[in-house]
Amino acid sequence: MSAADREVILEANDLTREFDGVTVLDRFNFKLHKGEVLGLLGANGAGKTTAMNMLLGLTTPTSGTIRAFGMDFVKHRLEVLKRANFSSAYTSLPNNLLVWQNLTVFAKIYGVPNVKQKITELLELFEIADLRKRVTGQLSAGESTRLNLCKALLNDPELLLLDEPTASLDPDIADKVRKTIRKVQKERGISILYTSHLMKDIEEVCDRVIFLHKGKIVAEGSPEEIVKKADAASLEEVFIKIARSGDLAAAEGASASN
């Protein structure tokens, strides 16, 4: 079955957001299918964080709609959030609690059965089982990121929104995190919306990517297709060209002239 035939888990229709008269996201449309990892790429200010925040219900769209699991997100926010989860490099769990205490609180919020067993399973999955009784604030960046991901998987989400999950990690830990995310995603058929500035992340984890530039979609496809279409050597090269020239066609032109 092709990706397009699979069930749509999350979709945005003409999602637009303006701040003080400036359009930071302009009629953004996409569909995330079941079991698919969709990367949202773009330079700083491209609109991906705004898009992510609207998809999480943290920012209200100026216009447009979001549907998740076939439901209107605004009307059924709680039902959607029960089946989804989120992790970001820019949030943390309360740093004065122990690792197991933080996970226990969120497991209870999400109504996870067999809390202890679930926490053990996830800590082992991310190879941080020895940190169970550590104070969260004493964890390294890599350990903290993996703890955030444990929190994000507590409720066995069908939809996962990951905002730069490997930011500030060393290459070894980043590699481990990517591989674990991909492994869990494949085993459980999770649909993931993934943002990152690390093209290695995107190439390794994402099935399909959307490039945003100044709030508009400028390219869409698999990482290989986009690299080929832009006549570039790597996704990183495409990223830089789009960030500087604004669209894929210009990127192709720039590539040809180089």
Partner 1 sequence: MNPRIVSALVLRYLYLYGRTPMRLIELIFWPIVELLIWGYLGMYLKEHAGAAIPTIVGHLLGGIILWDVIFRAQQGVAISFLEDVWTRNLLNVFVAPVRNMEYLAATFIIGFFRILVTVTMLSVISFSLYQFSVFEMNWAILPFFGNLLVTGWALGMISTALILRWGQAAESLAWAVPFFIQPFTAVVYPVAMIKPEWVQYVAKALPSTHVFEGMREMLTHHTFNWTHFFWACGLNVVFLGVAGWIFSSTLNTTRKRGLLTKFATQ
Q: Does 91 bind partner 1 (CB under 8 A)?
A: yes
Interactions with partner 1, residue window 122-141 (CB under 8 A): 135
Is the distance from CB of 230 to CB of 252 less than 8 angstroms?
A: yes
The candidate with the shortest Cα–Cα distance to 87, out of 213, 185, 172, is 185
Q: CB of residue 187 vs partner 1: minimum separation in angstroms? A: 24
Instruction: Tell me, by CB under 8 A, how many residues bind partner 1.
Output: 37
Q: Which of 13, 59, 222, 245 binds partner 1 (CB under 8 A)?
A: 59
Site string for partner 1, 148-187 (x = CB under 8 A): ---x------------------------------------
Q: Does 101 bind partner 1 (CB under 8 A)?
A: yes
Torsion angle defined by CA atoms of residues 233, 230, 42 and 73, in that order, rounded to the nearest 10 degrees = -120
Q: CB of residue 102 vs partner 1: minimum separation in angstroms? A: 8
Q: CB of residue 50 vs partner 1: minimum separation in angstroms? A: 7
The candidate with the shortest Cα–Cα distance to 86, out of 148, 128, 147, is 148
Q: Does 81 bind partner 1 (CB under 8 A)?
A: yes
Interactions with partner 1, residue window 18-47 (CB under 8 A): 19
Which strands make up the sheet holding 216-221, listed edge to edge?
84-88, 159-163, 191-195, 37-41, 208-213, 216-221
DSSP assigned state of 89? T
Contacts of 135-139 spanning 24+ positions with Cβ under 8 A: 135/95, 135/96, 135/97, 135/98, 135/99, 136/92, 136/93, 136/94, 136/95, 136/96, 136/97, 136/98, 136/99, 136/102, 137/95, 137/96, 139/99
Query: Which position has the token pair 């943390």?
Result: 92
Query: Quick one: which H or E segment has residue 203?
Result: helix 199-205
Pick the closer one to partner 1 by CB: 85 or 238: 85
Pick the closer one to partner 1 by CB: 109 or 233: 109
Q: Which of 50, 145, 191, 196 binds partner 1 (CB under 8 A)?
A: 50
Q: Does 111 bind partner 1 (CB under 8 A)?
A: yes
Q: Does 57 bind partner 1 (CB under 8 A)?
A: yes
Catalog residues that contact partner 1 under the rule CB under 8 A.
Answer: 17, 19, 49-50, 53, 56-60, 78-79, 81-82, 84-86, 88, 90-98, 101, 104-106, 108-111, 135, 151
